[in-house]
Every structure is written in structure tokens, then in C-alpha cells.
Structure 1
Amino acid sequence: MKSVAGVRAWVRWAAAALAGAVACLAVAAPVSAAPEDREAAGVVVIGIPGLAWSDIDPEATPHLWGMAGTGASAAMSVRTIGSWTCPEAAWVSLGAGERAGGAAPRDAQCVAQSQIPAPEEAGGSWTVGAWEALIEANSAYNYGARLGSLADAIAISAAEQAEAAEEAAEHGEEAPVAEPGSCVAGIGNGAALAAADTEGRVAFWAPTLDSLGAAMAACDIVVVDPGVVVGDSEDRAPDATTDYDQLGSDDTEVGDEPSVPEGEHPGEIVPDADPVRVSAAKAADAAVGRVAGDLPGDWRLIVAGIADASAPSALHPVLYTGAGVEAGGLTSSTTGRDGYVQLVDITATALSVVGAELPATVAGAPVTVLPDPDRTSEAAVRAGVDETAAATAVATVDWWFYAVVSFLGCVAVGFAVWLLRGGDRWRRTAQTVCVAVAAVPVAGVAAGIPPWWRSDQPALVFWAVIAAGVALLTVAASLPQTRTGARPALVVAGAAAALIVADQVSGATWPLHTPMGYTAQVGARFTGLGNYAFSVFAAAVILLIAFVPWRGRSRIWGPVALGLAAVVIVGAPMLGRDMGGTLTLVAAVILTCLRLWGRRLTVGAVALAGSVALAAFAIGGFLDYLRPEEDQTHLGRFIGSVLDGTAAQIVVRKADASLSTIGKPLTWVCLAALIGAYLIWRRRAPIRSDRVGAAVVGLAAVALIGALVNDSGIAIPGFTATVGFGLLAVAVGPLPGPRTAPETAETTGVPERA
């Protein structure tokens, strides 16, 4: 056994290695090419609330159909405030370049927020009458939206050009040519909300497209509201009696997306099309055709379904064409995933096209075209419909998935208590149940591999995939070679860790449309490691560190290497990109290793873990912040918010989202785990094994710290308990007694402590 001094030396080196590995978190991803100062003479943005991919048809909407094939396109998340976005909130968000809400009440059919009044005219100028009400409404949200940022950014660009011209004239130098049209014009009532500056003033406004030519002559950016909302007729629309606003929250949380009506398949192109919807789509297409026909050759056109027509939310199309735009797909740095953009990216794109600098208040990023000369209209629409169906299908299964996980988690806690406190009877059953329940979230991560949403019965196929994954892992952990000692826990934990590592390395595609990952329509995260999958991964890593049979020197460097690799997977900008997960896992791994090496968890040891975790967070965040803004992850942007003084808004918003998860389904498995731990402690305390102590400390750290620093709140300890509690009980096994031989390295697969 090593001397105390030797162990201390290893501890210091391990802590230093873990802190130094933070540099890996800042390995630069491919840097996006900087756009030219001015990409086109101007851009027209047409917003069509409610427009869906399934509305684009060669006969009903020929102009939109043609744009889908000749231009670039993507599926767009329109998420602003709450779980669905009505037109008023979408227009305001477009002008702010940040998530914003409307002043009118948000009902399930978006009736109130679809009735947008025209701006008030006085002496040839226009002002949004409800501007103060919009400012007041958005002051209650913690997104820091600065309404009117789009128009102000253009005005600032013009002012800077004028100032440069004055300075040049004073020094007798040749003055730079000032760009004309440095303003935003609005056509239609909704467009006035997007074109207004921070005072609610609109530089140019007209009610109809008859003034399109004058608008393009006056301003470089023209926003158009055709006055059409593409929605279903009343007898085909979703439930209009429920106030879904009480169900939504600002972030992705358990059960916040209402489901589609029973009997309807999300994303399906219904043969008997609603005549009201078809008529609205035709009217919108006619407006698009008129703009496209009058568009100068050096201008660009963006057509987007900027809002939902009613709850629940869905993905919407965005089509991009014009000067220099090739056929293909679209992406942006805010999504990090090909084929997906966000509503706020349109704001940034419009500014980029005319060469204006993006203000810090604009959260979006300019879209990037992914050229594909073989892209056809049919292929683009088919892909959009499929992406919409995949995102929408999650809403039909997510609440039930979380409820089932919570129920089964409570059952597993009961069997785990029996396994550690009870007699021989039902021992094998208890072990099997603990393994099977721990496998459910793991199967949930893998559920995105097959396209279950394409089935005629997507919910049924989804649960079949979950059942198959659970059965496979349970059988693998019950073979004669794997069913004794800690081996079942290592099988499930190893499978979970390997699955998530493979997904992250291959592009993080599997959890995109699963309850264990993230849905693109919510817009919170499009790639990387989601909070729920992080909980599974972190629990698996802790169990592997604690129960892998390390021998000799590998007892020191093995856990350190495994911990370092796990931190890189979670935090690296080209992999997990998980800000809160990085902080949580660094602290949890350090505490686990210290306990595994026989160190007492004194106040100093806990302070060491916290200090290294904060150092890793700060160093990794600062290095990420130094990268180009378009390539920064959440971590780098958070450091930027700390430097500009807006971090408090983010912290408050995330804290509010975290608190809102209390009482949701996974709360009950957390309570069950606390009760179960107390019952086990009464019978078996104190913990005499370093391995068991390391696992308990590590899992507790993941649950507690994760709940505090992630906006998923109670879901972090919920999934951690579902995976870790039962597997830990299986690894520990029953108390040695008259009817049970003491466990040895031979039966557990884990060498006894020296």
C-alpha cells in the first residue's frame, strides 16, 4: 500500500492533470469564413406565420415550391417565450434578434396575437402604437431582448459612415461613400413591429405590396407581412379551450410540449387538405411570387414561416434565394447542425447581407449556405416534412416517457432496498429489475437511431424500440459471465458510456428527436450533449470509476484518465458543449477519485474539488470566448455575458426554469431515492468500502451539483437516481450472513481493498 505522502502526491498530480485538461475543451472547431462587408444590395424578408413544410406544393404554392429547389432552405425553430410562438411575438423577436414576447394574451389559437393593428401615422412618419406595452411585457422576461435592435443596427451603421466621412473631410482626405438606404422598411401590420427602432418609430411603412418598389428604393432591408396566417379551420384546429400558456416555460423542460390531437400523425401530409389552410397558403404564395418578380438582380429574398398559427409548436420552413445564394441547405452557428436554423438567425442574416455589424443584443447568427447542386424541390420539402414529423412526434411520447421512467425508478429503488436489506428470496428478481430499469434511459438515448416517427403508429414503435433496448441490456447483464458481483452494473454503465461517446464523436444525431435528448422545435439545443443524456453519462462514468477492477498503479491513473476523457466528451466545443455538465462532472470525478483512494472528504477536499471545477469552467469558458463569436458555444457566450454585465439575467432565467421542474414526474423518483438511501443507511451504515463510498459520493455530487447548475433542475437527480441507484445496489450486493458467503474479488470482479 502506498504511503500517505505518495497518495497525496498522486492526488496533487491528478488534480493538476484534470485542471490542465481544460485546454482540450477549447480546441477550436472549424472557423466559419467571415462574410464580405456587403453580400448584396439589399434583402427582403417575407414572414408567413403558420407556414409549414406540408403546405409547399407544386400546384397550390408553385413559387414556394420553386424556391425550395433553386434556393437554400432549412427547418426553423420559431421558439420565443413559452412552448409555442404566436405572430405578434414572432414579429417582435424578428426586430429584436432575441427571444421576445407579445403584449396581447397568448391563447391556444393565437387569435389575440394575430390581430396586429397598423402603425400610427403623423406627418409622414409612423410609430407603433403599442410599443410601450411591448416594452413593458418583455421587461418581465429574462432574455434581455432589446426591441428594435434590427433597425437600430442599421442606423448605427449609417451614423458610423457619416462620422467617418466628417473626419475624412476635416483632414482633407477623400471621404468614403456613404451607403444609401440604411434603414428598415415595413410592409404590412406585422412587419411594422419588426421594422421599428428602439423608440417604436418606423422609417418607412406601407400597408400593401403596391409600395414594394418605393420601400426597396428607400431602405436596404424590407420586411413584408402579407397579412396571411396559414392555419386550420376551427373544426380542424387543436384544442382551443385549454390555456397552453400555463403548460409552457422558457426552457426545455419535462412535459412542456402539448401533444397533437389523438388520431393525427405529426408531420403527415393529410390527403383531404383543409380548404382554409390551402387558401391561406395560396395567398401567401401569390405574395411571394409578386415580390420575387419585382426583386432586383442584386437583392436577396428570405421567406420564412416565422410563427405558429396555434398550439402546439412545430418546425417551419425558411427559404433563401437571390444574388449569390446557391441551391442547397442552410445552417447557423446557433444550431451547429446542418439543415436547422432559428428565428433570430434571420435578423442576423439580414444585417450581414447589407454589411451592418451585429450588435451584442442580437442572439442569432448569419445563416451559412451548404451548396447542393443536385437538390430538388421534392427532396427539400420531403426532408422538411420528415424533420417536422420527427420533432412533433416527440411531443406525443415525452410526458409518458418521463412518467414511466419515474414510476419504474421508484420500483427499482424499492427492489434495491430489498436487495441490500432483505433475505435471499426475490434476490435474483430484484437484481434483474434494477438492471432493467437502469437500462430504460440508456435505451431512450438509442431510440433516435431508428426513424420511429415515420411509422403509422410512431408511439407504438417508439415503445417497442425502448423495450428492445432494455431487453438487450438486461440479457447482456444476466449471462453467466456477467451476472455476478459488480459485473451487471459495469455492463449497463459501460454500454451507456460507450453509446453516448459514439454519438458525440459521430455528430450527436441520435438524441435529436428523443425524450432523452432535445427537440429542434424547442430551440434550446440542437447538438452536443443534452442535460438528460448527461445525467446518464455522468452516472455511468462514476460507476465505472468506482467499480472497474483497477490494479496496481492503474488504481491511480485509470480513474484519472477515464475522468479526463469524460470531461472532454462533455465540455469540448466540437462534442458535448455542456456548460453546466462540465462544472458538475469535474467536481464529481475529483470527489469520486479522492474517496476511491481512501481520502476522507474533509472541507478542504470538497473545496479542492470545487476550486478545480470552477477553474476548469473559467479557463475553458475564457478560451472559448476568445474564439470567433460565430464559433462560440454556450460556455464562451456565458463568459461574454459575465464581461458585459448581462449574466445575471441568464442565471435568474435558468434558476426559474430549474425551480419550475419541481413537482414534475421525475420529482417522485428523487424522493424515493432519498427514502431508500435512508432505509439502507439505517441497516448497513457506515460505508466501509472505498469503492462503494466513491460511487455514493460521485452519484450524489452529480445529482446535487447538476440540479443546481442546470436549468433542467430535478430531472438531473431523477435520471441519475434511475440509472445509478439500482446499479449501485447490484454492485454492492447483500450483506454477508449465515445464508450468504462474503463477497470476494472472485465473485464481484473487483479486487478487495489493500
Structure 2
Amino acid sequence: MFAGLSPVWRGIRRLVLFAALSAIAVLAAAPANAEEAGSADGVVLVGVPGLSWGDIDEERTPHLWSLVGGGASGAMSVRTIGSWTCPEAGWVSVGAGARAGGLNARDAACEAQTRIPAPVRGDDGTWTLPWYAELAEANAAYNYGARLGSLADAAREQGSCVAAIGRGGALAAADTEGRIDYYSPDLSDVRDAVETCRIVVVDPGVVVSNARPDTIADPDVNFDDPGRDDTDPGKGEAPDEDVPDSVRQERVRSADEAVGTVLEAIPSTWRSVVAGISDTGYPSRLHPVLYHGRGVETGSLTSPTTGRDGYVQLVDLAPTLLESVGMESPSVMSGRAVEVRADEHQTAAAARERGWDETRAAAEVARVMPGFFTTLAVVGTFAVAAGAWMVLRRARHRGAEALCTAAAAMPLGALAASVPAWWRTEHPQLSLWAVITGVVAVLVALAQWGPLRRRAHPALLVSVPIILYVVVDQVSGSTWPLHTPMGYTAQAGARFAGLGNYAFAAFTAAVVLTIALTPWDRSPWRPDLARFVGPVALSLAAVAITGAPTMGRNVGGTITLVAALIVTCWVLWGRRFSLGLLLGAGAIGVVVIALAGIADYMRPADSQTHLGRFVGSVLSGDAGDVLARKITAAVSTLWHTPLVAVVAVAAVASLLIWRRLGRPRHDAVYAAMTGLLIASAAGFALNDSGITIPAFIAGTGFTLLAVAATPVAPDRSGRPLAASDEPEG
């Protein structure tokens, strides 16, 4: 009576084995624990809103120049809430150690958030910020989980305090109730502040900007809407800070003099941090952070939140201040203490040039992204329509096939564009498009070339290079996709290392197609075994690349990929697709990423990636805010990206093909179709990039699958080629 259940039990055993092997593959890459650095007697932070790498000059800013040459430095993303950060939000985020927003409106010239009110002194001599409760309430609505005043609370709990000089410093030094342990508006009191508290935050009252009053934006625009597309330049841009301006230069000199005053007032046993803690208008830029003093070696800075040498985030400043004096950071802080990559041969000129190059690259990526995604949407939409047309007529067309191949190859072209450093050329955008076009042209030519076309499936000629690129990049340290519209932009501060969501989507489509369309049964070694071992091995490798803490680090992507690959393999092996299979595959994906996250969480806090930090947010009860924010961001993409057109056309085309042709007769085509569908739906639900995930999967997966599902041409009788020659839809 149990004979009929044996296939089910065999399937369950395979699913469990897949989950175990996937978890082992992900956990195998856990990095070693980091060593703790020595501490100083105290630390001072000097925040200069708007300070750019381009402002630092040996003659004009001698104090800043000496810090660059005598300590460690890095490029800092000041991203908090929205695509650019004004001074008020920057100071508040320093005090929270997490992304926070200001109380005043955020305009394109940051005029409102530059005018920070002074704290009030009570009859008992204590300083407070009377509006602090309103500020905390506003941040609670942002759902970023920021606990304002965490820096001051942590210092007080560990036997010290945070002193503030200047109005911005007061925002950063206030505790959760808006109280300040020590406050003075005058730089001459820095020495007194040093004697009072081990952590001092200084606002010298200088905003480095050449913005003018007429640059403020339309007051009817809600800049603080988290779902708004902040790449739209039509908001009233502030002047470009690259433009020489006597007013800006005078402000930079004032900032440098203030830094010199502070450095003279602190003991030699202290450390100093000088940072451009915010933008001063739209668009955002990377800003310098300079770390100097006792125990700090010359070199570059990095942080566990970025996982990339030379880059840190604004939220890392508070943990760094605490770590500098031997204090622990509270778990509510999303930032982590910076780490120094020592380089005794580093010069100030070399460090400045590196920081300026990183700033320039991030700015150029931001400029090209709107045009890139618009072009990708147009090409992808026509390619999906062309692919559907071929499937419905049951015969390939050279032009339509070339268009499908070109659309599928565009993501790889954009990923590869970062290798030749296109942003350093005289015409950056032209150079970027030259690389993209070159890669696309090569892949289209290979797919159309007769000898190669007869030996390899055209869909695999695009899918396999995508897989190889991602694998090589992730194994080698994820060094390529930072400065590309397909990767992640440093100034956005969302992701600096690992597998970005756009690249993940193209990678997923390529893996699903490769597993489904590879002729495993033609293997010279045990074809009956190869059709099982090959897909499983490729699946495990893809999951490890996507989810390992030292490689992909993509939480939602790992769950998505595991579910999609289980379904793909199951259907490829001739099994029946069901709702139970889908739920089981999703559960296994959750288990895999949970095990990887727990292993990451068990390591020291300063060594954790965002996988471990997310587990910490689950345990602390803050995960709800994170998930709510990501869901809001995902839903907002439905009306904020042109790529939604690709998904709409792909959905209509799929329904039309299904109604006219029904279920594909070839298991490979059906397996690929099912896997791509699951990946699209789960990717939309589990990634804050939202609709862009299914858009990239459709642009790469649907187009190549359409080529795979369509015979080259009808035979003389008018019937399509046999399934043994070409997969048939």
C-alpha cells in the first residue's frame, strides 16, 4: 500500500540532501575572525558638511593634507534616507550609528537642514534639544530602525560621555532624551571638552558648498519620499562642486583652520577623525574620512559594512569613535568600526588621487544609470516581443534572434565595462557604451556564427559567459562590478561588495537556462548519472556564490535561487510540478540562508557581514522595520523604473504563448520556463529592487529561452524540427 509513496520519499530525500549540501557550500566560506586594535585615551570627530576630496590641497589645506599623508583615509558614502544627505540628517546619523533623517525639509541645496537650531540650557545647567522628541518621531516613520542618541547612551553606560562643540555636534552628542553631557558653541573650548569626555564631536560651523539661494528645489516635491526616484535630475540641481569657486575655497580654508585648532587642543594619546559628514546639495558625492592618531597606521580604511578596501559609510563613524576608546558598540547600530589596511609607503598625493578617483567613478555611474536603464528597457521590450513572435510562428528569424541575443548580452556588457576603468577617459559615457556595444556585438556574432552555432546552443553562448564572469569576480573578491550601472554605486551606500541584485538576476537566469538546456544525456561519462550530477553540482556552486558571507552575501537572492533551481531540476528530471514542491523549495531556501546567517552571526560583531547583522535584527526584534522598508522599496519600483515595461510585455507574451501552444512538450524548455517564473516571482517578493529583478530575468531568460524553444526553420514538409535536434516549445 506504500508502494505509491516511494517516489515521493525519494524526492523528499533529494530535497533534504540538496538543502544540506547547499548549506555546507555557503558555510564553507566563513571568514576568519578579525583581531582587535589597540585603543586611545580619547577621540575627536570633526565633521565638515560637503567636504570633498577635490577640496584637499597641500597649499590651501595644510592640516588636512598632513592627516591624509600621516594616517589612514577612505571614501565615505553619506547615504542615509534618500539619494542625498543634508547636514542635519548627517549629524543625527552620526549619533545614531544608523541611517537617520532630519526634521527639516530636504531641498536640493540643503538650505533648510543647514540651519540647525542651537541647544537650550536649562536652569540646572544642563543642555537639551527641545525638539528632539519630534525628530525621533519622524525617524520612527522612516522604518530604518535608527535609535537616536545611541552614541551618547553607549558612552555613558561604559563610564564616559560625549562632548559637543557646535550645533551639529550637539545633534550627534545628544542621548535618546535629547540631553547633552557637555556643550559649547566655541572652538576655544575644545581643550575643556577633552578634559570632560573621552569622545568629542566638533562642528566647526563651516559648510563647504558653492550652492546659492536660487538653487533650492520646487517646494511641492516631496524629497523625503523613500520610494521616489532620486536619479531624476529635474529637481533643481545644486551647482557641481567640481567647479572652482572662490566662496567654496574660502570655506575650505576656514574648515582647515578649524581642524588645525582642534588638533592643537587634543593630547598626543588621542585619535582624530575628520569627515565630510554630509552632502550640501543634490546630487550626492563620496566624501573623505581621515583617521589619525595613536595606534593608527598609514594606509586605507575599510569597514565590514562595505567589505571593500577604501570605502566606509557614515553609519560607521559612531562605532569607530567607541572602538577607538575601547568601548563596545550597541547592537542597535547598523554601522561597524572601520579597519585600517596598512601601507607604509602611502603618500598624501596618492591617497588623495585614489579618493578623488573613487568619487569621480561613483559620480559618473550615477550620471549614466538613467540612460542605461532606459535603453535596456527599450531594447528588452522589443526583444521580448520578438522572441514571443518567433515562438508563436514556430520558426527562428535571424533578425529577431540577434535582437534577443543582444538584449540578453547587455547586462554582461555593462558588468564588463568596469574592468577598463571607463570613467577615467575623456568621454566617460561614450567609453562605457563602447564597451557594452563591443561585448554585445561579440556575443551576437558568436551566436550567429555557423560553425559554433552547430556545436553549441546560442542560448548557452550567452548564459555561460555570464556565469563565468560572476564566478570569477566573486571568487577573486568581487572587485569588478562596483563602478558600473549593473553593479552597485558606492555613493548609494546600499552594497559595496558581493553579488548585487541586478547582476544576481542575470546570473540566475543564466544558471537556470544552463542547467535546463545543457545536453547532459550526451555526456561521454555515464549519461544516466550526468543528468543528475551535473545540475546538482552547478546548483550548489551557484548557491555558494550567491549566499556565502565572503562572496555573494545576497539574502533574498539565495532564497530565490535555491527555490528556482530545485524546481528547475525537479521538472528537468521529469517530475511533476506542484504547489507542495514550490513551498518545500522555498522552505529549503530559507533554511540555507538561515544557517549561513547564524554562522555569520556567531562571529565577532566587527567581522559580520549583513547576513549576520540581519540575524541580529531578527533576534532584537528590529527585523520587522527592515522588512517593511524593503517591501515598500520593492513595491515603489512598479512606478519608478522603465524596466516595468519589459515585465509587462513578458507577462502578456507568456500568457499568449501558453493559451495558443499549451505546455511545452520538451522537458528542458518546460524546466527552464518554470525555473525562470519562480525566480521572477520570488525575486520580486524578496529583494528591495522589486520589479527590476523579473525585468532582468525576462531580458536575459525569456529572450534566450524563446530562441531555445524555437526550431531553426521548418523542414520541407512545413513541420518544426524534431525535439531531439532542437528544444521545441
The TM-score, its normalising length taken from structure 2, stands at: 0.94
Partner of 1:312: 283
Partner of 2:646: 669
Partner of 2:544: 568
Separation of aligned partners in 2, 1:247 and 1:485: 54
Change (3 A) 1:443 1:508: same
**Structure 1 residue 362 corresponds to structure 2 residue 336:** no
Q: CA deviation at 1:679?
A: 2.1
Residues 172-206 of structure 1 deviation map (CA, whole Å, 9 limit, x = unaligned): xxxxxxxxxx1100001110001111111111111
Residues 693-726 of structure 1 deviation map (CA, whole Å, 9 limit, x = unaligned): 1000000011000000110000000000000111
Q: CA deviation at 1:369?
A: 1.0
Partner of 2:585: 609
1:24-43 map, 5 Å: 24-27=25-28, 29-35=30-36, 39-43=39-43
1:435-454 map, 5 Å: 435-454=405-424
Separation of aligned partners in 2, 1:260 and 1:496: 35
Is contact 1:73-1:380 (8 Å) kept?
yes
Is contact 2:238-2:281 (8 Å) kept?
no
1:720 is paired with a residue of what secondary structure? helix
Change (3 A) 1:583 1:698: same
Task: Indicate the larger mover: 463-472 or 620-629.
Answer: 620-629
Partner of 1:93: 93
1:277-316 map, 5 Å: 277-316=248-287
Partner of 2:151: 150
Change (3 A) 1:401 1:637: same
**Structure 1 residue 222 corresponds to structure 2 residue 200:** yes
1:510 is paired with a residue of what secondary structure? coil
1:591-630 map, 5 Å: 591-630=567-606
Unmatched runs of 5 consecutive residues or more in structure 1: 159-181
Task: Indicate the larger mover: 529-538 or 20-29.
Answer: 20-29
Partner of 1:400: 371
Amino acid of the structure 2 residue aligned with 1:214? D
681, 684, 690: which one aligns with 2:658: 681
Change (3 A) 1:256 1:297: same
Amino acid of the structure 2 residue aligned with 1:621? G
Partner of 1:133: 134
491, 501, 510: which one aligns with 2:480: 510
Q: CA deviation at 1:9?
A: 7.0
1:513-662 map, 5 Å: 513-551=483-521, 552=527, 553-662=529-638
Amino acid of the structure 2 residue aligned with 1:372? D
**Structure 1 residue 695 corresponds to structure 2 residue 669:** no
Partner of 1:729: 706
Q: CA deviation at 1:103?
A: 0.5
Unmatched runs of 5 consecutive residues or more in structure 2: 522-526
Is contact 1:35-1:352 (8 Å) kept?
no
**Structure 1 residue 197 corresponds to structure 2 residue 198:** no
Separation of aligned partners in 1, 2:33 and 2:232: 37
**Structure 1 residue 472 corresponds to structure 2 residue 442:** yes
**Structure 1 residue 416 corresponds to structure 2 residue 392:** no
1:417-436 map, 5 Å: 417-422=388-393, 427-436=397-406
Change (3 A) 1:262 1:475: farther
Q: CA deviation at 1:689?
A: 1.2
Partner of 2:116: 116
Change (3 A) 1:244 1:568: farther
Change (3 A) 1:742 1:679: same
Change (3 A) 1:266 1:414: farther
1:286 is paired with a residue of what secondary structure? helix
Is contact 2:173-2:180 (8 Å) kept?
yes
Q: CA deviation at 1:17?
A: 3.0
Is contact 1:334-1:341 (8 Å) kept?
yes
Q: CA deviation at 1:156?
A: 0.7
Amino acid of the structure 2 residue aligned with 1:651? L
Separation of aligned partners in 2, 1:731 and 1:66: 61
Amino acid of the structure 2 residue aligned with 1:51? L
Separation of aligned partners in 2, 1:487 and 1:45: 59
Is contact 1:83-1:245 (8 Å) kept?
no
Change (3 A) 1:4 1:538: farther
Is contact 1:27-1:573 (8 Å) kept?
no
1:185 is paired with a residue of what secondary structure? strand
Change (3 A) 1:263 1:90: closer
Partner of 1:256: 230
Partner of 2:690: 713
Change (3 A) 1:6 1:566: farther
CA RMSD of aligned residues (A): 2.5
Residues 281-318 of structure 1 deviation map (CA, whole Å, 9 limit, x = unaligned): 00000001111122211000100000001111110000
Partner of 2:187: 209
Task: Indicate the larger mover: 202-211 or 120-129.
Answer: 120-129
Amino acid of the structure 1 residue aligned with 2:101? G
1:334-413 map, 5 Å: 334-413=305-384
Separation of aligned partners in 2, 1:10 and 1:24: 22
Separation of aligned partners in 1, 2:264 and 2:513: 63
2:512 is paired with a residue of what secondary structure? helix
Partner of 1:68: 68
1:618 is paired with a residue of what secondary structure? helix
Separation of aligned partners in 2, 1:82 and 1:382: 28
Change (3 A) 1:423 1:655: closer
Q: CA deviation at 1:621?
A: 2.1
Residues 310-357 of structure 1 deviation map (CA, whole Å, 9 limit, x = unaligned): 111110000011111111101111111100001111100111111222
Q: How many residues align?
A: 717
Amino acid of the structure 1 residue aligned with 2:230? D
Is contact 1:10-1:556 (8 Å) kept?
no
Amino acid of the structure 1 residue aligned with 2:163? A
2:158 is paired with a residue of what secondary structure? helix
Is contact 1:583-1:616 (8 Å) kept?
yes
Q: CA deviation at 1:742?
A: 3.9
2:453 is paired with a residue of what secondary structure? coil
2:482 is paired with a residue of what secondary structure? helix
Change (3 A) 1:703 1:266: farther
Q: CA deviation at 1:91?
A: 0.6
Separation of aligned partners in 2, 1:458 and 1:392: 11
Separation of aligned partners in 1, 2:220 and 2:32: 41
Amino acid of the structure 1 residue aligned with 2:102? G
Amino acid of the structure 1 residue aligned with 2:491? Q
Change (3 A) 1:648 1:374: same
Partner of 1:167: none
Partner of 1:171: none
Change (3 A) 1:244 1:438: farther
Is contact 2:560-2:586 (8 Å) kept?
no
Q: CA deviation at 1:75?
A: 0.1
